[in-house]
Amino acid sequence: MSKEQTKPSESLVQELLNERRSLKVSVERLKLELAEAQSSSGGPDPQMGELREEIERLRYQLASARAEANQLRDERDALRTGIEKAIQQMSADEG
């Protein structure tokens, strides 16, 4: 009876060992594929540098436009003040 019981268990152990070996091979193969995929996609997208430069250029352009708008606003306000003073003087001279 013990001989009959050991045969199925030995066969089961052999099957499990074979399955384990097969799974280890699969795991190693997948690790290699993953490493290859990571290295082939490697590094940042080459367009990222160009896009960063474009963003920096646009930021500079925006800052320049804002500065110019502020300067024009100041000039407009100064002209408006000058016109108001001229109108006041003209009104004072007439009266």
Q: What residues does each domain of the chain span? A: 1-43, 49-95
Report the distance separating Cα 75 and Cα 13, nearest Å: 92
What pLDDT score was predicted for residue 1? 46
Query: What DSSP element (H or E) covers 16?
Result: helix 2-41
| Segment among 4-8, 66-70, 91-95 with least mean pLDDT | 4-8
User: Mean pLDDT throughout 10-36?
Assistant: 89
Confidence at 3, pLDDT banded by 50, 70, 90: low
What pLDDT digit, counting tens, does each position of 25-42 carry?
A: 999 999 898 888 777 776
Considering all CA atoms of the chain, what is the largest pairwise distance in Å, rounded to the nearest integer?
A: 135
Q: What is the pTM of this model?
A: 0.47
Q: In whole angstroms, what is the distance from residue 1 CA to residue 68 CA? A: 100
Give the list of residues 6+ apart from residue 3 with CB closer than 8 angstroms, or none.
Answer: none
